[in-house]
Amino acid sequence: MINLNNIKLSNEKLNPDNCWNIVLAGDFCPIMRFNNGCGINELLNRTFSQELLNFVRGADVAIVNMEGPVRSVATSISKSGPSIQLDSEAPAVLKAAGFNIVTLANNHIMDYSSVGLSKTLESCQASGLMVCGVGEDLEAAMSSVKLEVKGARIEIFNFCEQEFGVAKSTYPGAAWISHPVALKNIATAAKRSDVVIVVAHGGIEEVPFSPVQRSLQLRQFIDAGAALVVGHHPHVPQGWEKYGKGIIFHSLGNFLFDYSDGKRYPKTEWGIMLDARFSGKQLFEIKLVPVEMIENRTVDIMGKVHNMESHLQYLHKLSSIISDVCRALSYWQETAAYLWQTRYKSWLQRACNPGLSSNKSIRSSIAKLFQRENLGPGNIMNAGIKDGLACLNMFRNESHRWAIETALEVYTLDSKDLRTNETNEEFKKLLSWTEG
């Protein structure tokens, strides 16, 4: 009988004296949850179940993605998309829950400028959390967290795709996943350390598959020496693939995610945590631990709201698809085509010329944008800034660009269309898990 919770990676005989583990969780975003004057123990009990706390606290190392800066007096930057501030108690709650490290390279960490980042770093330091993926400049952001567990030398890197907050050579921000230094630093770390882990924030929200181009990028990290690559950002869990001497998890989904409008989105209220188990420098097993947000907005091990077995079967289905090169590409084409029709086409038309009817061409829409904004040095009209930022994000962000590129390659017959009636029907079934 197949154990759906376990991924076996090695059959070598283990030395129990040098076994250790690391737990990884997805996106953590508490908003208007802790602002009630409660003590830390009450906040913990209202946020996590005791079973989940025991699981995290039992790990040698525990990592979670803190999806944005903590609340501060700073004003939000000019960007496309919402700006997020987490409750100021977030770092203290995470530390009390048993987490040691927070990853901060994500698309929201610079939403409130360097002021918000500085406040976040101060709060994490005061709480005793190590941070990864950000820094006062590019060199600092791209560096790793180094630690030693039972004699194993470990380095952890954290990168994100480009939106509006990546670090520059002399400016603070997040570590950019596509910067050449990323691969170089991983390769260097692999030579001096026993285990290298990469946490990669990116992909596309609320779809079952990541871009195949992102998969190729993450595989490069394995080739450079990483044993484990873990992704998040899509708000929903996606599959995994064994590659070379490592394994890649495309998205863990949400760990805890509140929305400022107070609404709840059930299909994003579950995710997976990983219990990665090592013997010295050998990654021999990964245990999948599905989690869910239950009725009172507490995060618990899955079982009260959702059926764990069916959700694990869904994830194994995704993994079987992305582990096959041809199937992975055909389902990615399905995903990109769907995204073009339901998101990108209308977003581009709206950004380029608000009010333009949908039967107008993209070419005329973009031409209208350039006319309206009178693009030139220092000559962008304020009224068009938001529209320009939306276009910039679609063209500059890796996953958005890959989706648009793939869809247009299929529609223009520039690439072979691998979609079939069978893949289309199956894609719709899988999509029902993530959207709507």
Separation between Cα atoms, residue 217 and residue 238, nearest integer Å: 16
pLDDT at 383: 43
Q: How many CB atoms lie under 10 A from the CB of residue 392?
A: 15
Yes or no: say if 174 and 104 are a contact pair by the CB < 8 Å rule: yes
Separation between Cα atoms, residue 11 and residue 51, nearest integer Å: 29
75 vs 364 pLDDT, higher one: 75
Q: What's the pLDDT band for 427 if we cut at 50, 70, 90?
A: very high
81 vs 167 pLDDT, higher one: 167
* pLDDT (mean) for 6-20: 89
355 vs 434 pLDDT, higher one: 434
Pairing of strands 134-135, 173-174: antiparallel
Q: What's the pLDDT band for 92 if we cut at 50, 70, 90?
A: very high
pLDDT at 331: 99
Q: By three-state DSSP, how is residue 218 classified?
A: helix
Q: Where are the alpha helices (DSSP H) in 205-344?
A: 212-224, 308-322, 325-339
- Tens digits of residue pLDDT in 96-134: 999 999 999 999 999 999 999 999 999 999 999 999 999
pLDDT at 11: 83
- Tens digits of residue pLDDT in 29-65: 999 998 767 889 899 999 999 999 999 999 999 999 9
Yes or no: say if 398 and 161 are a contact pair by the CB < 8 Å rule: yes
- Tens digits of residue pLDDT in 356-411: 455 556 555 555 544 544 444 443 434 468 888 999 999 999 999 999 999 999 99
Task: Please name which of 260, 248, 185 lies closest in space to residue 217, comparing C-alpha atoms.
Answer: 248
Pairing of strands 61-66, 101-103: parallel
Burial degree of 168 (CB within 10 A; 0-12, 13-18, 19+): exposed
Task: Just give the CATH number of 6-323.
Answer: 3.60.21.10
Reply yes or no on whether the pLDDT at 137 is more than 90. Answer: yes
Task: Please name which of 86, 90, 135, 138 lies closest in space to residue 108, comparing C-alpha atoms.
Answer: 86
DSSP state of 384: G
Separation between Cα atoms, residue 257 and residue 29, nearest integer Å: 5
% of the chain with per-residue pLDDT over 70: 92
Q: What's the pLDDT band for 260 if we cut at 50, 70, 90?
A: confident
- Tens digits of residue pLDDT in 190-236: 999 999 999 999 999 999 999 999 999 999 999 999 999 999 999 99
The domains of the chain are located at 6-323, 328-431
Q: Which pair of structure tokens corresponds to residue 404?
A: 């648009």
**pTM exceeds 0.85:** yes
